[in-house]
């Protein structure tokens, strides 16, 4: 007799919000889920795959705790952007947006380092990986935050540096994908950092579940911040184009 196991497909809640009449939506629309970098069986206690509903056996020594079917995340967060007329707008590359922000800030005595530092503190290590966010992996003593809670706290950082009450926040910047107001660009960048952290990061798992952040192996959402850091550092050589290699492909 064949036994069929039906697993209920886990869910990722969609997050949508409007800034200066532009609509940002973060949802599970990505097409390339990444390998799950977490060592779910870090204490090597389990012989079963850690994905809920999967009964596949896994070697006790395999620290990922994931069977062959589940080595990759099943979800991939993607950001989409609608302009004020409701038309889908292409998202500029990370380095393009950061170049625009740096050019803009240099003309108005607005240092960007504190903004990127606050984004780093607020996001890196605080965003669960996508398999934990979707509920495919659950933890006995820990309730995983919802995606919208994470966005509520990350949005506050952008609002602090690019307030809606300040006219200059609405200045359009010329990206390679067309003009976008600086306040929207800052929210897009923050949202991409959250998505990268969930799609590729392992810092949250190391910090929160393993209680040892030094075990982190992935840059995750740090990648765009690394580009800013590389361009801000006084190298003594021209780095503008080369620093792009630090950003995700």
Asked if residue 70 binds Zn ion (CB under 5 A), the reply is yes
Token pair recorded at residue 81: 């952007």
Pairwise CA distance, residues 69 & 190, whole Å: 32
Q: How far is the CB of 223 from Zn ion (least distance, A)?
A: 28
**Residue in the structure block whose two tokens are 């007329």:** 85
Closest residue by Cα to residue 203 from 192, 194, 215:
215
Residue numbers 204-243 binding Zn ion by CB under 5 A: none
Options 19, 40, 67, 147; binder of Zn ion; rule CB under 5 A: 67
Candidate ranges 65-73, 75-83, 144-152, 175-183; the one touching Zn ion (CB under 5 A)? 65-73
Options 7, 56, 90, 217; binder of Zn ion; rule CB under 5 A: 56
Smaller CB separation from Zn ion, 68 or 108? 68
Q: How far is the CB of 96 from Zn ion (least distance, A)?
A: 39
Asked if residue 147 binds Zn ion (CB under 5 A), the reply is no
Pairwise CA distance, residues 55 & 49, whole Å: 6
Options 20, 42, 48, 54; binder of Zn ion; rule CB under 5 A: 54
Asked if residue 49 binds Zn ion (CB under 5 A), the reply is yes
Contact 5, 17 (CB under 8 A): no
Q: DSSP letter at 214?
A: G
Candidate ranges 56-64, 180-188, 198-206, 214-222; the one touching Zn ion (CB under 5 A)? 56-64
40-56 b/e (C-beta count within 10 Å ≥ 16 → b): bbbeeeeeebbbeebee
Q: How far is the CB of 184 from Zn ion (least distance, A)?
A: 40
Closest residue by Cα to residue 14 from 72, 83, 79:
79
Smaller CB separation from Zn ion, 64 or 175? 64
Smaller CB separation from Zn ion, 72 or 110? 72
Q: How far is the CB of 77 from Zn ion (least distance, A)?
A: 21
Contact 200, 131 (CB under 8 A): no
Pairwise CA distance, residues 173 & 181, whole Å: 6
Smaller CB separation from Zn ion, 69 or 179? 69
Q: Could you tell me how many helices (H) and strands (E) the chain has, helices first?
A: 7, 6
**Residues at the interface with Zn ion (CB under 5 A):** 49, 51, 54, 56, 67, 69-70
């Amino acid at each position: 007799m064949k036994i069929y196991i039906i697993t209920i497909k886990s869910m990722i809640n969609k997050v949508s919000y409007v800034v200066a009449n532009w609509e940002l939506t973060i949802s599970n629309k990505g097409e390339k889920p990444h390998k799950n970098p977490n060592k779910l069986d870090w204490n090597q206690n389990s012989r079963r795959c850690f994905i809920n509903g999967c009964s596949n056996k896994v070697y006790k020594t395999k620290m990922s705790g994931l069977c062959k079917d589940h080595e990759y995340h099943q979800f991939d967060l993607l950001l989409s952007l609608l302009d004020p007329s409701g038309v889908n707008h292409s998202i500029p590359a990370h380095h393009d947006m950061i170049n625009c922000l740096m050019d803009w800030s240099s003309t108005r005595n607005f240092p960007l380092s504190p903004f990127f530092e606050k984004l780093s503190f607020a996001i890196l290590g605080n965003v669960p990986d996508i398999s934990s966010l979707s509920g495919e992996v659950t933890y006995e003593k820990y309730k995983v935050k919802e995606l919208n809670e994470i966005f509520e706290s990350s949005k506050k950082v952008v609002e602090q540096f690019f307030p809606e009450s300040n006219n200059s926040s609405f200045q359009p910047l010329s990206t390679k994908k067309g003009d976008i107001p600086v306040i929207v660009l800052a929210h897009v960048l923050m949202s991409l950092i959250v998505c990268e952290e969930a799609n590729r990061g392992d810092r949250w798992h190391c910090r929160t579940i393993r209680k040892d952040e030094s075990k982190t192996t992935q840059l995750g959402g740090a990648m765009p911040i690394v580009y800013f850091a590389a361009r801000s550092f006084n190298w003594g050589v021209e780095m503008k184009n080369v620093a792009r290699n630090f950003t995700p492909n």
